[in-house]
Amino acid sequence: MRLHSGGMERRDVVAYLDELFPPALAEEWDHPGLQVGDLGLPCRRVLVALDLDLALIERLQGVDLLVTHHPLLFRPVSEIRPETPLGKKIAALLREGTACYAVHTPYDSARGGMGERLAGILGLRETRPLAPRGRLYKLAVFVPPEAVDAVAEAVFAAGAGKIGRYGHCSFRAEGIGTFLPEEGTSPYIGEPGGEERVREIRLETIVPGERLGAVIREMLSAHPYEEVAYDVYPLELEDRRHGLGRMGTLPEPVPAGEAIEGFAAAIGAETVRVYGDTAREVRVAAVCGGAGGGLWAEALAGGCELFLTGEIGYHEGLAAAEAGLTVAALGHRETEAVFVDHVAELIGRRFPELEVIRA
Ligand SMILES: [Zn+2]
């Protein structure tokens, strides 16, 4: 966190959002992050919206940072003209000096983001991602025995070593390291020109992809060697903390129609399209906001009887129903509207000096 005599900058808010909803979790096709503007300017007023729609441009005056769910710039732009809706929006942002930042799929996938929010509204328990996201890495570093605890502490503090609800997970094996310092080096052990054999610990631990950069940085700064020997391996394991949608169990079996109605009422969805049997009792269910229909097969494979999403194609809905899944489409905007209150609340709580408004 950077603090300035002139107060905070927009980048402070963005750094906080990136920590909660790491950009590394973005879908490959996505384009989240800074859309328009300068993050290095002061920040006093933040506006949170699902989209920058045309009606919102009138409310940009005095807004330093606009945080949206959906990116404003999704496809390459070949021209910016004020008579087009996109041109009007970009012109308004530049005129008002408002920076526009989109959180999008990192918010959908991150632990504590959209998926868990919607699962909470539905009342799901023992939830897990419908489509896990996030990569895991193994870090192995060779450390002299007297420095191993300091290096381990540094990497744990930066986010390494978590397996489920266990922290500080590592493995340490002792062996002999060899090296020959060349002329011009200043080795921690030995002298330039003489081969050394030293006791070293191979310290290995697991690192989530979104923390890898920070973990390596902290490891290098805690390590006493001038040149640190370390390896980073990508793992085939899934990181089950993050991912699109969530599945889990309802507290008790209820008719599918009842679960759908309750959820629709809770999020304020008025138009619901249902495919499949609504009278059946359901216990295992999944939810994914927005255009999540494509995940119906994952829901079915995970043992779900009910799948709630924002949008699903007609043929996908039919196929899901015929395969034995009850699916309800409750609207893209309606299922994602939780973003606005949630993100505004997070920013307001973290930065009480800011004025945070909701679209
Ligand atoms: Zn969406």
- pLDDT number for residue 16: 97
Distance from the alpha carbon of residue 332 to the mean position of ligand 1, in angstroms = 6
| Residues 185-209 pLDDT 10s | 888 888 888 898 999 999 999 999 9
Distance from the alpha carbon of residue 288 to the mean position of ligand 1, in angstroms = 10
> What are the b/e assignments for 20-36, b being 16+ CB within 10 Å?
bbbbbbbeeebbbbbbb
More confident of the two residues 101 and 182: 101
Q: How far is CA 196 from the centre of its chain?
A: 45
Neighbours of 133 (CB within 10 A): 23
- pLDDT number for residue 6: 57
Distance from the alpha carbon of residue 246 to the mean position of ligand 1, in angstroms = 16
Distance from the alpha carbon of residue 72 to the mean position of ligand 1, in angstroms = 12
Tell me the mean pLDDT in the region 219-241: 94
Looking at every residue in the chain, the average pLDDT score rounds to 95
Q: What is the band of 238 on the pLDDT scale with cuts at 50, 70, 90?
A: confident
pLDDT over threshold 80, residue 2: no
Distance from the alpha carbon of residue 291 to the mean position of ligand 1, in angstroms = 6
pLDDT over threshold 60, residue 5: no
Tell me the mean pLDDT in the region 26-39: 96
Predicted TM-score (pTM) of this structure: 0.85
Tell me the mean pLDDT in the region 162-171: 91
Distance from the alpha carbon of residue 160 to the mean position of ligand 1, in angstroms = 31
Tell me the mean pLDDT in the region 316-321: 98
Distance from the alpha carbon of residue 7 to the mean position of ligand 1, in angstroms = 33
Tell me the mean pLDDT in the region 103-113: 96
Q: What percent of the chain has pLDDT over 70?
A: 98
Distance from the alpha carbon of residue 111 to the mean position of ligand 1, in angstroms = 17
Distance from the alpha carbon of residue 281 to the mean position of ligand 1, in angstroms = 29
- pLDDT number for residue 283: 97
Task: Compute the distance between CA of residue 5 and CA of residue 65 in angstroms, rounded to an integer.
Answer: 19
pLDDT over threshold 80, residue 1: no
pLDDT over threshold 60, residue 3: no
- pLDDT number for residue 213: 94
Task: Compute the distance between CA of residue 228 and CA of residue 141 in angstroms, rounded to an integer.
Answer: 8
3-class secondary structure, 40: coil
Distance from the alpha carbon of residue 34 to the mean position of ligand 1, in angstroms = 17
Distance from the alpha carbon of residue 63 to the mean position of ligand 1, in angstroms = 23
Distance from the alpha carbon of residue 337 to the mean position of ligand 1, in angstroms = 9
Distance from the alpha carbon of residue 347 to the mean position of ligand 1, in angstroms = 21
Distance from the alpha carbon of residue 15 to the mean position of ligand 1, in angstroms = 22
Rg (CA), the chain: 25
Task: Compute the distance between CA of residue 118 and CA of residue 267 in angstroms, rounded to an integer.
Answer: 9
pLDDT over threshold 80, residue 286: yes
